[in-house]
Amino acid sequence: MRIKQLSLQNFRSYLNVTINFTSKTTTFIGDNGAGKTNIVEAIIYLAFLSSHRVSQNQPLILLGNQQAIIRAEIEKENRTLQIDLEVNANKANRARINQNPTRSQKEILGACQVVHFSPEDLDLVRGDPGTRRDFLDRLLITRSPRLAGVSADYERVIKQRNVLLKTRAAQSALVPWNEQLVVLASNLTAERIALCEALNPWATQNYSNLNETKLMKLDYKSSTEGLSNNPNLNIEIYKKQIQDLQYQEIERGTTLFGPHRDDLLIQLGDFPAKGYASHGESWSVAISLRLGAFDLLRNEGSDPILILDDVFAELDTTRRLQLMAATQKAEQTIITAAVEGDLPEGLETERFYVTPGVVSLKKRGL
Amino acid sequence: MSGMYEGAIQDLIDALGRLPGIGPKSAQRIAFHILQSDAEIAGALVDAIRTVKERVKFCTECGNVSEEMQCRICRDPRRENTSICVVEESKDVIAIERTREFRGKYHVLGGAISPIDGIGPEQLRIRELMTRLADSSVTEIILATDPNLEGEATATYLARLIKPLGLKVSRLASGLPVGGDLEYADEVTLGRAFEGRRTVNE
């Protein structure tokens, strides 16, 4: 899969820009704040229908406008697909595929698949469980777009249910939400556990490729005991959990179990990576998670675009080489860097120079 | 965007902009259309709005919009009293009426349960529904709430509430659109259609 052309209108710092990707690897070079990450953010938005930086749409839209447009020509198995996405501030986004309107923007999920690295990936190791859940969920959506709906519905049910718990509503008012909660939670948990099982060998392999000696292992840590990758079995477990927690939940006024309280446990040897891993080890773990995801997707027959957003400056030679090896496998790699010298030696790439609002093939002033 | 025109025209744009589905640009277009059209046409619009607020009430029995105490459907002696179809809004009544498949009566809830929006069973016309069900002639309830999270929750709530009365309760099927292609159905719809499949060789 590759992006042939990307056009942005009123997106972040760009009033209007069109970028033609002609090479296997494309690099955007520019000072901090020039707008490099805005370009990859647009591609990431197409892939997940949400930004990796903000949860609202308004910051994505150029100041003073209500709408941004992301347009991409994507080549997949020798066929070209044109995706148009209107990102709206105050109403639902609208998408078109090959000029044809879609009923829901979710229909474009799967058209553009990406695996992206960014300096914030360190949070996958050190950050809150939410960062790791988000990592899993985004990978789930890439593998199976249907789950975007399951995850969104789940979050909404939790919100509705929490309002009831907070206002100490009667048990009979909770029942209709409990039924939907159990089904959605069972589904989402089963999918996440199955994903962890599938991802684990690939992450472990990548970690050892980085000359690390410890054994990296992934485990899905749920707030509920005994869950598995079988949604039907999970339903019974969650039903019992609702019963057991009934009084505690009313007392605390919030939902006390479910995939929104789970975590991805990363073990290094006998210790959890969080709290124990050194700075270097943390980077190795983060890279192994992303490269593991990349290898898993490729092994399952997809061909995701690899995005390396401002990461080379952070990494030593071994880790750079590991990422370089991945770029050889990818059909398309998109890189951003603040300084040209940070790019690994021998990297064959077309170069774009980014200044605020402008993307150019020439360096400014030359 | 706001405050670009003075006085009356801006008031009109603001008032139109508060209507559902009308953004600032559409509001501006409609306002200027009204300004440029004949006084008669504008007057008719004003009258229509005033009349609708004066005359239209809600049916005391089913909650549907009506110009009299009872709506057209509740007054119609040919409609069966044995079944009630429960819907969220009056516009859902019209949608089902267009099918001409249903000969019973309706009950309009006035929305769906949504705690986030402060809408619980008490805010809907559920007590009125239970009063109607106490009337022994009703034998079947059809729950026709929207097939989304809130609609499903409302249907589940009603199903449990009605259960002790021993009535037949059914829920509208959700699944594939008629005349559509299987390949174009999204996974959720197709999954639901699979769940609700029926046997054909019995």
Q: Domains, chain A, ranges and CATH?
A: 1-113+303-366 (3.40.50.300), 122-301 (1.20.1050.90)
Domain boundaries, chain B: 7-55, 78-171
Positive or negative, the CA dihedral A236, A237, A238, A239 is positive
Chain B contact residues (CB < 8 Å to A): 23, 113-116, 120-121, 149-150, 152-157, 160, 186-188, 191
**A185 burial class (0-12, 13-18, 19+ CB within 10 angstroms)?**
buried
Which residues neighbour A332 within 8 Å (Cβ) at sequence distance 6 or greater?
A: A1, A2, A3, A21, A24, A25, A26, A305, A306
Query: For the complex shown, is ipTM > 0.85?
Result: no
pLDDT per residue as tens digits for the range A125-160: 999 999 999 999 999 999 988 888 899 999 999 999
Residue A139, number of CB atoms within 10 A of its CB: 23
The amino acid at residue A216 is M
Out of A107, A159, A176, whose CB is closest to B153? A176
| Per-position pLDDT tens, chain B of length 202 | 445 788 889 999 999 999 988 888 899 999 999 999 999 999 999 999 999 999 889 999 999 999 889 999 999 999 999 999 999 999 999 999 999 999 999 999 999 999 999 999 999 999 999 999 987 789 999 999 998 999 999 999 999 999 999 899 999 887 787 777 777 777 777 877 887 788 887 6
Report the distance separating Cα A247 and Cα A232, nearest Å: 25
Question: CA triplet A263, A267, A269: central angle to 5 degrees?
Answer: 170
Selecting from 1.10.730.10, 1.10.8.420, 1.20.5.50, 1.10.357.10, what CATH number does the domain B7-55 have?
A: 1.10.8.420
Report the distance separating Cα A135 and Cα A153, nearest Å: 18
Q: Which residues of B touch A163 (CB under 8 A)?
A: 115-116
Report the distance separating Cα A13 and Cα A8, nearest Å: 10
Report the distance separating Cα A88 and Cα A53, nearest Å: 17
In a mutational test of the B interface, the residue from A63, A180, A184, A187 whose CB has the highest number of chain B CBs within 10 Å is A180
Average pLDDT for A338-351: 89
Cβ–Cβ contact A43 with B under 8 A: no
Contact criterion met (CB below 8 Å) for B187 and B175: no
pLDDT per residue as tens digits for the range A173-229: 899 999 999 999 999 999 999 999 999 999 999 999 998 899 999 999 998 999 999
The amino acid at residue A119 is P
Report the distance separating Cα A246 and Cα A161, nearest Å: 12
Distance from CA of A292 to the nearest CA of B (A): 27
Contact criterion met (CB below 8 Å) for A20 and A360: no
Cβ–Cβ contact A163 with B under 8 A: yes
The answer to whether the Cβ–Cβ distance between B152 and A180 falls below 8 Å is yes
- What length does chain A have? 366
Enumerate the β-bridge partners of residue B94.
Answer: none
The answer to whether the Cβ–Cβ distance between A146 and B187 falls below 8 Å is yes
| CA distances in angstroms from B107 to A187, B78, B79, B174, listed in the order given | 34, 17, 14, 20
Distance from CA of A234 to the nearest CA of B (A): 18
Q: Which tokens is B187 given?
A: 């996974």
Average pLDDT for A288-314: 94
Average pLDDT over chain A, rounded to whole? 93
State the architecture of B78-171 in CATH terms: 3-Layer(aba) Sandwich (3.40)
Closest CA relative to residue B122, chosen from B152, B151, B154, B148: B154
pLDDT of A28 > 90? The answer is yes
| CA distances in angstroms from A365 to A18, A343, A360, B181, listed in the order given | 21, 21, 12, 57
Report the distance separating Cα A116 and Cα A291, nearest Å: 9
pLDDT per residue as tens digits for the range A256-288: 999 999 999 999 999 999 999 999 999 999 999
Identify the DSSP state of A56. Answer: S
pLDDT of A365 > 60? The answer is no
Q: Which residues of B touch A175 (CB under 8 A)?
A: 156-157, 160
Report the distance separating Cα B101 and Cα B178, nearest Å: 15
| CA distances in angstroms from A345 to A148, A284, B200, listed in the order given | 39, 21, 67
Interface of A with B in 48-87 (CB under 8 A): 66
DSSP string across A151-217: HHHHHHHHHHHHHHHHTT--HHHHHHHHHHHHHHHHHHHHHHHHHHHHHHHHHHHHHHHTT--SPEE
Report the distance separating Cα A318 and Cα B65, nearest Å: 72
Q: What is the pLDDT at residue A103?
A: 84
Report the distance separating Cα A319 and Cα B67, nearest Å: 75
Chains A & B: contacts with CB separation below 8 Å: 53
Q: Which tokens is B101 given?
A: 């498949």
Q: Which residues of B touch A149 (CB under 8 A)?
A: 188
Question: CA triplet B198, B200, B202: central angle to 5 degrees?
Answer: 110
DSSP string across chain B: -TT-S-HHHHHHHHHHHTSTT--HHHHHHHHHHHHHS-HHHHHHHHHHHHHHHHH-EE-TTT--EESSSS-HHHH-TTS-SSEEEEESSHHHHHHHHHHT---SEEEE-SS--BGGGTB-GGGTTHHHHHHHHHSTT--EEEE---SSHHHHHHHHHHHHHHGGGT-EEEE----PPTT--GGGS-HHHHHHHHHT---S--
Which residues neighbour A297 within 8 Å (Cβ) at sequence distance 6 or greater?
A: A113, A115, A139, A142, A143, A303, A304
Cβ–Cβ contact A175 with B under 8 A: yes
Distance from CA of A177 to the nearest CA of B (A): 6
Report the distance separating Cα B199 and Cα B194, nearest Å: 12
